[in-house]
């Protein structure tokens, strides 16, 4: 689609994902076993025939950059168009860290000016959904407005988590409120926008002097709505903002439902990602696997129930995993018992350890707003000693060095984090 270029905002800190974003950007967090969250947005671009994609990175972006490479898995390794990674250009006059979503685009206005595409599609790199952006562009052109946003209906009880939009009968946005405490409208902004390119350049340049942290949700869209320049494209499919530990955990486990809303099979449209060359999974005699997603390279000798296992996870004989998400290269040793947990990459859970058993009503003492729903999170490369008992709503991480935590029980809502790690 030569008429539109895409800019994916992938530089947010993702603090509400806690330990999962301590060493990686939120769009690089693993989802559904083998994908990264940003794969969904990139796949949408490719299937919408968008051949020029810019990814704006910032926060702990090394793993994200490594995953993106030159864009080959998404057919974006090309001379004309292709994938371009845009970091903050520190050292250049007027450049700084990206301070807001619109500020990130503003600092790349020199890139915008060189484009021949008439329309700019702005996307978030941390959403799970399947959209044909061509339909959005068709709507945008027909609306006659210089700016359009995509909206989706959400339950009113969670409207305070989004930008909430009111729309009149002609499809024009009449109000935009960022994360209101209450609202009659249930239409949430998806963080997906289309602008006429020159209008976007002019708008950002005019508003930057008023807001150093220029943001689409806080500043740009409310101002343009007042001027009657924004239309709303209604999206009726599944969309999920992976913004919290709870949404991450529940979204992964929802893939195991009989009829999941996110379709990952070929019939639902394959999600493109970096291919792996791991051997097939091995499920050995005497093991038990029920209602689970097991990726390549896994070796199952114990019991796995209602769980998602990323590539190269080993569950030893006598070990049990229930209602959990286990990321790449983890070892669950003999007799270990894991329930209601997310275990990050490279962890070793010692013989006979027990994780996730306790009172789910006790919130985490360090991050009670993020972790209060009965799940325990084990950070990357953590080594849990044999026989250790860890309750529910706990945060555990061995840090960057040995990764080993000290032995001894961790009570419900407890924290055991290495001093070299800051949250």
Q: Verify that 92 and 235 share a domain, yes or no.
A: yes
φ, ψ at 2 (rounded to 5°) = -70, -15
Quote the pLDDT of residue 2: 56
Q: Which domain, by its residues, includes 329?
A: 276-423
Asked if the structure places residue 75 within a domain, the reply is yes
Q: Are 279 and 4 in contact (CB under 8 A)?
A: no
Question: Cβ of 84: how many Cβ atoms within 10 Å?
Answer: 17
Are 21 and 107 found together in one domain?
A: yes
Average pLDDT of 251-261?
91
Instruction: Give the model's pLDDT for residue 423.
Output: 66
Residue 257, pLDDT above cutoff 70: yes
Per residue in 87-145, pLDDT tens?
A: 886 544 455 678 889 999 999 999 999 999 999 999 999 999 999 999 999 999 999 99
> 351 and 238, same structural domain?
no
Q: How many residues are given for the chain?
A: 423
* Residue 268 forms part of a structural domain: no
Pairing of strands 147-153, 282-283: unpaired
Average pLDDT of span 378-389: 96
Q: Is 60 exceeded by the pLDDT of residue 325?
A: yes
Domain end position, chosen among 192, 226, 247: 247
Please report the pLDDT score of residue 184 as a whole number: 86
Give the CATH number of the domain where residue 130 resides: 3.90.550.10
- Are residues 280 and 241 both part of a single domain? no
User: What span, in angstroms and rounded, lies between the C-alpha atoms of 406 and 398?
Assistant: 9
Contact indicator for 173, 59 with CB cutoff of 8 Å = no
Asked if residue 124 is part of any domain, the answer here is: yes
Q: Is residue 254 situated within a structural domain?
A: no
* Order of strands, sheet of 282-283, starting from the edge strand that comes earlier in the sequence: 282-283, 299-300, 314-315, 331-332, 348-349, 383-384
Average pLDDT for 213-236: 95
Report the b/e string of 241-254 with b at 16+ CB within 10 A: bbbbbebbbebbbe
pLDDT at 282: 97
Average pLDDT, the chain: 92
Whether 265 is in a domain gets the answer no
Answer whether 83's CB lies under 8 Å from 74's CB. Answer: yes
What average pLDDT does the segment 326-349 reach?
A: 98
Q: Are residues 293 and 388 in the same domain?
A: yes
SS3 of the chain: CCCEEEEEEECCCCHHHHHHHCCCCHHHCEECCCEECHHHHHHHHHHCCCCEEEEEECCCCHHHHHHHCCCHHHCCCCCCCEEEEECCCCCCCCCCCCCCHHHHHHCCHHHHHHCCCCEEEEEECCEEECCCHHHHHHHHHHHCCCEEEEEEECCHHHHHHCEEEEECCCCEEEEEEECCCCCCCCEEEEEEEEEEHHHHHHHHHHHHCCCCCCCHHHHHHHHHHHCCCEEEEECCCCEEECCCHHHHHHHHHHCCCCCCCCCCCHHHCCCCCCCCCCCCCEECCCCEEECCEECCCCEECCEEECCEECCCCEECCCCEEECCEECCCCEECCCCEEECEEECCCCEECCCCEECCCCCCCCCCCCCCCCCCCCEEECCCCEECCCCEECCCCEEECCCCCCECCCCCECCCCEEECCCCCC
Residues 303 and 364 in one domain: yes
- 280 in the same domain as 176: no
Tokens read off for 362? 């006790």
Confidence of residue 206 (pLDDT cuts 50, 70, 90): very high
Q: Is there a domain that residue 260 lies in?
A: no
- Are 293 and 341 within one domain? yes
Residue range 4-14, pLDDT digits in tens: 999 999 987 77
Q: Percentage of residues in the chain with pLDDT exceeding 90?
A: 76
**Residue in 38, 42, 54 with CA at minimum distance from that of residue 107:** 54
Q: Are both 280 and 204 inside the same structural domain?
A: no
Q: Please state the domain count of the chain.
A: 2
What's the mean pLDDT in 284-290? 96
Query: Which pair of structure tokens corresponds to residue 87?
Result: 């970091």
Residue 199 above 50 pLDDT? Answer: yes
Same domain, 328 and 196: no
Question: CA torsion sign, 142 to 147 to 150 to 155?
Answer: negative
What CATH number does residue 392 fall under?
2.160.10.10
Is 103 contained in some domain? Answer: yes
| 69 lies in the same domain as 201 | yes
- For residue 348, is it within any domain? yes
CA 403 to chain centre: 25
139 plus 200 within the same structural domain: yes
pLDDT value at position 91?
44
Q: Which of 200, 230, 247 is the last residue of a domain?
A: 247
For 22-67, write each residue's pLDDT tens digit: 889 999 999 999 999 999 999 999 999 999 999 999 888 888 999 9
Report the C-alpha gap between 188 and 164 in whole angstroms.
Answer: 5
pLDDT of residue 296: 96
Q: Is the pLDDT of residue 267 over 60?
A: no
pTM, rounded to two decimals: 0.93
Q: Between 388 and 93, name the one with better pLDDT.
A: 388
From the CA atom positions of the chain, what is the Rg in Å?
22
């Amino acid at each position: 689609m030569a008429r539109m270029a895409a800019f994916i905002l992938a530089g947010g800190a993702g603090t509400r994902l806690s330990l999962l974003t301590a060493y990686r950007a939120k769009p690089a967090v693993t989802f559904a076993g083998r994908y990264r969250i940003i794969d969904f947005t990139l796949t949408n671009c490719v299937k919408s025939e968008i051949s020029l994609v810019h990814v704006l990175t910032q926060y702990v972006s090394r793993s994200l950059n490594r995953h993106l490479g030159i864009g080959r898995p998404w057919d974006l390794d090309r001379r004309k168009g292709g994938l371009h990674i845009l970091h903050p250009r520190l050292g250049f006059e007027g450049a700084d860290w990206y301070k807001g979503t619109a500020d990130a685009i503003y600092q790349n206005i020199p890139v915008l000016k060189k484009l021949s595409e008439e329309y700019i599609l702005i996307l978030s790199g941390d959403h799970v959904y399947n959209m044909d952006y061509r339909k959005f562009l068709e709507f945008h052109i027909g609306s006659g407005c210089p700016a359009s946003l995509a909206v989706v209906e959400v339950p009113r009880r969670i409207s305070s988590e989004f930008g909430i939009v009111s729309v009149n009968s002609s499809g024009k946005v009449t109000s935009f409120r960022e994360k209101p405490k209450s609202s009659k409208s249930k239409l949430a902004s998806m963080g997906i926008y289309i602008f006429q390119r020159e209008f976007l350049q002019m708008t950002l340049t005019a508003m930057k002097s008023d807001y150093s942290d220029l943001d689409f949700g806080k500043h740009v869209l409310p101002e343009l709505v007042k001027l009657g320049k924004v239309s709303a494209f209604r999206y009726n499919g599944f969309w999920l903002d992976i913004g919290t530990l709870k949404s991450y955990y529940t979204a992964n486990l929802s893939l195991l439902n009989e009829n999941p809303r996110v379709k990952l099979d070929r019939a639902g449209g394959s999600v493109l990602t970096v291919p792996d060359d791991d051997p097939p999974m091995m499920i050995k005699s005497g093991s038990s696997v029920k209602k689970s997603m097991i990726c390549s390279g896994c070796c199952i000798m114990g019991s796995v129930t209602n769980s998602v296992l990323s590539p190269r996870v080993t569950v030893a004989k006598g070990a049990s995993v229930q209602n959990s998400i286990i990321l790449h290269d983890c070892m669950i040793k003999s007799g270990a018992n894991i329930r209601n947990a997310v275990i990050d990459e490279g962890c070793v859970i010692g013989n006979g350890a027990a994780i996730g058993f306790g009172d789910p009503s006790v919130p985490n003492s360090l991050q009670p707003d993020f972790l209060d729903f009965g799940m325990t999170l084990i950070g990357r490369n953590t080594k849990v000693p044999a026989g250790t008992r860890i309750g529910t709503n706990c945060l555990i991480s061995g840090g960057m060095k040995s990764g080993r935590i000290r032995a001894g029980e961790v009570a419900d809502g407890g924290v055991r984090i290495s001093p070299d790690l800051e949250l």
